[in-house]
Amino acid sequence: MRDLKERIEKVYRRLLKLYPEPHRPRRTPLEQAVFTVLSQNTTDKNAQRCVENLKKLTGGDFLKIPLLPKEKVIEAIRPCGMFNQKYTALKALLERWPEVEKKLKELPAKEGIKLLTSFPFIGSKTARVILTFGFNKNTFPIDTHCKRVLKRLGLIPEGWSFDDFSEFMEENFSGEFNRVFHYNLIRLGREICGARKPRCSECPLRDICPYANLFQP
């Protein structure tokens, strides 16, 4: 595992050179939770649009969401798709939010993941994003961009699930390292290592990437 750790550190350093100032959006824990639930299976732009719709609908108080007529909330979050599931998730989470927020601040990250995933339609990736960006906890969320880039780089050991890899990151690196690495993998995935046509000739990881060596001229 020392070899894996070293390879991760190498990728991290190269990405940090490429993206020296990672963008970190600042949201309150509550806004981060609402945004993260809405952003599942859609773009950040769509999710943010729905957050703005909900702000208008609630006058900025998201805790009113469970008290509002379902149709009104659905109308506000329709642009981000899967609106019935997302409504159910938001309602259940926000009904208990003050108590949940207090617990999430105090609990270790692992317990926080357990608590959040006990709510409907909140999986471990969503839980980790809420904890990383809303509560500054040491978790390593893996979204579709991270999955693709990590696989191409050959960093997921044979037989490991993505949850196994998240746990390895959480046990071996600091919260700051994991936040920056997560964010920069997403940026690389969006800007250079696209799903259809990775632009390996422009990528600073080309010489250490098995995918580039195998499939790119």
- Residues engaged in binding ligand SF4 (CB under 6 A): 149, 152-153, 192-193, 198-200, 203, 205-206, 209, 211-212
Residues 166 and 137: their CA atoms lie apart, in Å, by: 13
CB of 42 to ligand SF4, least distance (A): 23
Torsion of CA 169, 173, 179, 181, to 10 degrees: -70
Nearer to ligand SF4, 122 or 146 (CB): 146
CB of 169 to ligand SF4, least distance (A): 18
Q: Confirm if 148 and 209 have CB atoms less than 8 A apart.
A: no
CB of 155 to ligand SF4, least distance (A): 10
Nearer to ligand SF4, 137 or 187 (CB): 187
Count of Cβ atoms closer than 10 Å to residue 213 Cβ? 12
Residues 175 and 113: their CA atoms lie apart, in Å, by: 15
CB of 16 to ligand SF4, least distance (A): 15
Nearer to ligand SF4, 113 or 153 (CB): 153
Residues 124 and 180: their CA atoms lie apart, in Å, by: 19
Q: Confirm if 73 and 57 have CB atoms less than 8 A apart.
A: yes
Nearer to ligand SF4, 91 or 206 (CB): 206
Nearer to ligand SF4, 152 or 179 (CB): 152
CB of 200 to ligand SF4, least distance (A): 3
φ and ψ at residue 137, rounded to 5 degrees: -90, 160
